[in-house]
Amino acid sequence: MHKLEINSSYLNFKDFTLDIENHFTTNQNTIHKARNELKILSHNNTNIVVKSFKKPNFINRIVYTFLRSSKAKKSYEHSLKIEQFTPQPISYIEYYVGGLLEKSYFISEQFNYDFTIREPLLDDNFASKEEILRAFARFTLELHNKGIFHNDYSPGNILIKKEDGVFTFKIVDINRMKFFNLSELDRAKNFSKLWARDDELHIMADEYTKYYKSNMDFSSLVCKYSNHNKQFKNFKKRLKGKTVND
């Protein structure tokens, strides 16, 4: 048994989606593999990214079958809702065994990005670094003003393409996204997972508050939440005996 939805703009991907397990298994172009796996495939002269979600444990199979949308479905629905900010969603499909969710896939167009926000954050000599950070702050403000809170707003999930001197941003890994009217604290907190230095955060906060009237010291708030997140993550690493990062 399976369930699927196809974006009305990509109806010619229906048969491909129905046979996605075969396409995914035989393709070797993996671009990420951890809990979930991402591969680049091609169909109808379109390069696409297919995300295969790890099989849930038994409890989560019940939860995702009866109580909550699967990660693939949420990724697809969120992408449709905010498609100007994400690679174009094509489809998702869920497979059920014994009446419970077994496997799921989310398919989207490939966004040919040049780099992620991680590269300029790690390289002080990165070309146009401050310009990128300021453009990113404006992009983040646009998300926030539309009531979008990315729960995993981390460097690898922020894709950037430079074209004709303009930086275009897209966000991925959006199944844990929330939609609500963000407070000033929510806005500041959303920068916390970038693992950026305080001076970099000050640049972003400065640009952000050029267009957003803050009633607090927004830059200090951004840095406070960022440092709290670093301390928490480093504490967890120490507990596991891992090397910590400043």
List the domain boundaries for the chain: 2-109, 115-237
Cβ neighbors of 206 (< 8 A, separation 6 or more) are: 137, 219
User: Given this model, what pLDDT does residue 244 score?
Assistant: 65
The tokens 């001197």 sit on which residue? 165
193-230 pLDDT, tens digit per residue, is: 999 999 999 999 999 999 999 999 999 999 999 999 99
Is a pLDDT exceeding 70 seen at residue 44? Answer: yes
* Reported confidence tier of residue 237, pLDDT bands at 50, 70, 90: confident
Q: What is the CATH number of domain 2-109?
A: 3.30.200
Separation CA 183–CA 225 (nearest Å): 14
* H/E stretch holding 223: helix 218-239
pLDDT at site 245:
67
16 has a pLDDT exceeding 80? yes
Q: Which residue has the tokens 């419970």?
A: 100
pLDDT of 230 reads: 94
Above 80 in pLDDT, residue 136? yes
Least confident stretch, 16-25, 71-80, 142-151, 230-239: 230-239
pLDDT score recorded for residue 240? 76
pLDDT tens track for 97-133: 999 999 999 999 999 999 999 999 999 999 999 999 9
Structure confidence at residue 40 as a pLDDT band (50, 70, 90)? very high
Determine the CATH number of domain 115-237. 1.10.510.10
* pLDDT grade for 246, boundaries at 50, 70 and 90: low
CA 208 to chain centre: 21
CA–CA distance, 199 with 127 (Å, rounded to integer): 17
How far apart CA 198 and CA 227 sit, in angstroms, is 9
Question: Taking all residues of the chain, what is their mean pLDDT, rounded to a whole number?
Answer: 95
Residue 47 in contact with residue 110, Cβ under 8 Å?
yes
Which bin fits 240, alpha (ψ -120 to 50), beta or left (φ > 0)? alpha
With the C-alpha atoms ordered 236, 237, 241, 244, is the resulting torsion angle positive or negative? negative
Topology agreement, domain 2-109 and domain 115-237: no
DSSP for residue 34: S
The mean pLDDT of 44-62, rounded to a whole number, is 96
Q: Which of 126, 182, 120, 125 is CA-nearest to residue 151? A: 182
Q: Phi, psi (5° rounding) for residue 3?
A: -130, 140
Q: What integer pLDDT is reported at residue 105 of this predicted model?
A: 98
DSSP of 83-150, one letter per residue?
A: GGGSSPEEEEEEEEETTEEEEEEEEEEPP--SEETHHHHH-TT-TTHHHHHHHHHHHHHHHHHTTEE-
Residues 6+ apart with CB under 8 A from 238: 244
Per the model's pLDDT, the better-predicted residue between 215 and 144 turns out to be 144
Q: How far apart are CA 102 and CA 77, in angstroms?
A: 20
Separation of alpha carbons 88 and 80, rounded Å: 8
pLDDT at 233: 84
Closest by CA position to 176, among listed 50, 84, 71? 71
- pLDDT one-digit tens code per residue, 148-196: 999 999 999 999 999 999 999 999 999 999 999 999 999 999 999 999 9
What pairs with residue 92 in β-bridges? 5, 106
More confident residue, 156 or 246: 156
